[in-house]
Structure 1
């Protein structure tokens, strides 16, 4: 899918890509080696997406949306839940009996999170910010995703300024590990 546009368009495109990956995973039989490869791909996408949201979306929501602090806190809690599931999935092999259960838990958690963002958070942010501000945030999100980690780090800070300082370094280490192992390469 094409990326670009404002923050809401960018993140919504990410949501559709992850849903597509979920569908591709579900289409494969349990124990199939490609399930693990696709779960690694979905992990990379979800971690990059989450880090970018934590750096730019949720601070913008806190600043511009009425009761934005509570909304952002709820979304960060959702991210924490998803990241713990991703960490557990990272340790599973394709034939691990826990893989299917963890995958369904992940899919359901991400589905709830996506629906909440698209039904509640995005419309409220759209009403609170100018088109220009939303476009600027879209640019920042795309840049952040390029530098973000690709593996779950549940203990990493999720709020500025610590997350903006640490994420690029952790991201570099993750991308080097991915390159060496071939993880994330189709």
Structure 2
């Protein structure tokens, strides 16, 4: 347990671990079917939505003001996130056993993995260079707090800290309320 706690005290290590978790969940969704696939996909949607929202609230403002060329780095990442949220939102409404689902999922996976590599190359390396250990730890704490309040489903168009802070808590309550509602066996679309 100490290894997890130590990595969670560094925002870059925490985000890198989450990137690994995301890759593993994509693998699980692809290799399963039926209820198992639906469950794995729900976990993937939740992790992606929470992860991206927290990055938008904690990491992007730091990058924007502390990394050389940070404004463009942030704009590039936000564009990638918006596109991924749109695909994820489409997938979130599909039946995971629909033959088109895996094709769409693969496209999403390629986009998400390219986005993660871009974050690691153009953002995370610079965060390490421009933040001391105390700042990395405080950002990790802020990231965990943001994740606790983040929506658990994609909301395209909220790719900024201000929009996330304004809309995130409301969306999070609605998302979490939907998750706790009994499954009526319907198609998952409430309207």
Report the TM-score, using the length of structure 1 for normalisation: 0.90
- Select 1:153's aligned residue among 149, 152, 155: 155
Query: Moved runs in structure 1, 4+ residues, more than 3 A?
Result: none
Match of 1:51 in 2: 53
Matched length: 179
Matching of residue 125 in structure 1 with residue 127 in structure 2: yes
Q: CA deviation at 1:164?
A: 1.2
Q: CA deviation at 1:36?
A: 2.4
5+ residue gaps, structure 2: 184-191
Q: CA deviation at 1:95?
A: 2.2
- Select 2:116's aligned residue among 110, 114, 117: 114
- Select 1:25's aligned residue among 19, 23, 29: 29
Match of 2:189 in 1: none
Match of 1:178 in 2: 179
Match of 2:37 in 1: 35
CA distance in 2, matches of 1:99, 1:174: 22
Q: CA deviation at 1:62?
A: 0.4
Match of 2:186 in 1: none
Q: Secondary structure at the match of 1:66?
A: coil
5+ residue gaps, structure 1: none
CA distance in 2, matches of 1:170, 1:32: 28
Give CA-to-partner distance per residue, 1:85-135, whole Å, 9 cap, x none.
111111111221220111101110111011111122111111011221111
- Select 1:65's aligned residue among 64, 67, 91: 67
Q: CA deviation at 1:162?
A: 2.9
CA distance in 2, matches of 1:24, 1:163: 29
Report the TM-score, using the length of structure 2 for normalisation: 0.88
Q: Secondary structure at the match of 1:152?
A: coil
Give CA-to-partner distance per residue, 1:58-103, whole Å, 9 cap, x none.
1100010000010011000110111011111111112212201111
- Select 1:7's aligned residue among 7, 11, 29: 11
Give CA-to-partner distance per residue, 1:138-179, whole Å, 9 cap, x none.
100001001100111113x32232321221121111111101
Match of 2:187 in 1: none
- Select 2:90's aligned residue among 65, 88, 94: 88
CA distance in 2, matches of 1:95, 1:181: 21
